[in-house]
Each structure stands twice: as structure tokens, then as C-alpha cells.
Structure 1
Amino acid sequence: MELLIQNRSRLKIDLKKIKRWVSLILKKPGYQDSEISILFVDDEEIRVLNKNYRGKDRTTDVLSFSQLEEVKNSKLQTPNSELLLGDVVISLETAKRQAKKRGHSFEKEVFILLTHGILHLLGYDHEGNRKMAHEMRRMEREIIEFSHE
């Protein structure tokens, strides 16, 4: 796996732990040998990105910019093929607020957001298609459960 991680937020995050998490997240759907970049930002930077790329002038927790044109299922690529998946951008400020609101740790919230963002890179979506949204939520639960085995 080739992984580029950058933290442009004032909040600190353990980058070695992020690398382990990304590897773990990609293992379940069989994409361990993929290329991916993760960018941690503040609320203002993610708001600008959300406005520029999605037309929504507000903060969000995670954005994904997939390099795949279409992935119909997670078995499309062989496990050993190299594949440029894309970029995941996470607001650590939003993650911190959400963790407090949901009653779990900041690290767990970042793991959940990484899982969500990476599944978007793999072609999963939760907007506009109930069946796909259900499949995405199922996959998120499986990865989170798998990570705690």
C-alpha cells in the first residue's frame, strides 16, 4: 500500500496509527495494495473544498475524491493489483465535536470517518440510492467490527 498522509490541522493525530488503520480498512474489501492519500484539515479548509467541489457552503466531516470511474463491487480488482483510489479529506475539528456528541473517543471518530471516506473511494454511496446506502452502512459495520477482533 502506498499512502500519503498530511496533517494541516492544528489538532494532532498519530500518523503511524492512521497508516495502520488505512491498511486495516482496505484489507476487508481486498484493496491492501492500493494507493491513497489522506489529508487532515480544519473546518475552514474543508468548508472551502465542500463549496468548490460539491457546491455546499458549509463544513462537513469527510470528503472523498475517487480516482475510480466506477466500481460495482469490492471484488472488481484482484487483491494484488495496484490501484490509485484517490483522496480522503477529514476535518479534525468536526471529528472532535462529533466524538464528544456521540460519546466516544476522538480516535474512534477519525477511524469511522476514514472508513466512510475510503468506502466512497471504492464506489460506495449513501445518497440517492437506498439499496447502496444500506450496503455502504453494512460494509462500514463489518470493517469496524473486523477492526476490533
Structure 2
Amino acid sequence: MNLTVDLQDKTESLTDDQQQIVMDIVKKGTEMEGLAGEVELSISFVDNKRIQEINRQYRDKDQPTDVISFALNEQDEEELDIVSEDMPNVLGDIIISVPRIQEQATEYGHSFERELAFLTIHGFLHLLGYDHETEEEEKEMFSRQEEILAEYGLTR
């Protein structure tokens, strides 16, 4: 498996070590989810104003949020599934609010790094089709998040 992550810190506030945590947790998630071949995704870190604009534009919610994912592998029944061994598996885009990382880390009583990894893996799992619309889906997704974080070594 070859993983390519286009990481952009538009806030210019994440340290090199924090950016490495992002890369490492995505790699751990990719391994634990059994992805193979060429895998690509992008992760952007933004401020609350920008994530609110995105949330308003794409989700009709005029408020900042912590993480938004745009999966490129989701398709309607009418869409063709274009898969080739020569093409990378482009998962999609994850957008994370840096101020919300800090707010939620404080609120939940854990480190900035733990919340950073949590939101990253949460967005990553959304790209793979996990969701939390129902109680059963939420239980499955949040359990998987905790498994990946624990395997990586970041627990509450």
C-alpha cells in the first residue's frame, strides 16, 4: 500500500510533530481498514470562519463545525463504478477546524494531539463510508475510531 496525503495547514498553526501525528494516524487507519494499492486523500486545517462557510455551502448549516468530509468514492445507483489497478483510490477531502480542536480538547479534558487524531480518524472513516446517523452506525463508527486510536497509542 502506498499512501499519499495532501496535508494543508491553512492556519499555519500546527507544529511539525502535530502534522506527523495526522500522517501517522491516517496510515494506521489505512492499515487497519485493509486498504491496498495507491491510496490518496487530502486534509486541510482551517479556522472557524472558513469551516462555517463550507458547512453553510454544502450542508445548509450556518455554523462552524469540527470536521467535514467529502468522500469521492460515494456514488449513486445510476453512477458507474470506475475501478482500475492502475488508478489510485482517491478517498476524498477532510477539512478540520483548528480552533475546534482546541475547544473540544479542553471540553473533553484531553490533549490537543488526542483531539487532532480523533477528528482526523473520524473524517477518514467518513471517507470510507462509516456514518453515525443511527445508533447502530454511531456505535460501529465510534468503536472503530477508538480501536484505531488505541492501536496508535492515543487513548483518553
Q: TM-score, normalised by structure 2?
A: 0.82
Instruction: Say if 2:21 and 2:117, in contact at 8 Å, map to a contact too.
Output: no
- Any idea what the Cα deviations from partners look like across 1:83-110, whole Å, max 9, x if unmatched? 1100000001010111011111111100
Gaps spanning 5+ residues in structure 1: where? 71-76
Gaps spanning 5+ residues in structure 2: where? 76-82
Task: State the 1:10 CA deviation.
Answer: 4.5
Q: Which amino acid aligns with 1:69?
A: E
Cα distance change, pair 89–13 in 1 and its aligned pair in 2 (3 A): farther
RMSD of equivalent CA atoms: 1.9
Q: TM-score, normalised by structure 1?
A: 0.86
- Any idea what the Cα deviations from partners look like across 1:32-70, whole Å, max 9, x if unmatched? 641010000000000000000000000000000000126
Aligned residue runs from structure 1 range 67-82, under 5 A: 67-69=72-74, 82=88
Cα distance between partner residues in 2 of 1:34 and 1:10:
26
SS in 1 for 2:44: strand
Instruction: Say if 1:41 and 1:91, in contact at 8 Å, map to a contact too.
Output: yes
Structure 2 counterpart of 1:131: 136
Structure 2 counterpart of 1:5: 7
Q: How many residues align?
A: 139
Cα distance between partner residues in 1 of 2:93 and 2:136:
25
Structure 1 counterpart of 2:49: 44
Aligned-residue identity in percent: 37
Task: State the 1:17 CA deviation.
Answer: 3.1
Structure number with larger C-alpha Rg: 2
Q: Does 1:66 align with 2:71?
A: yes
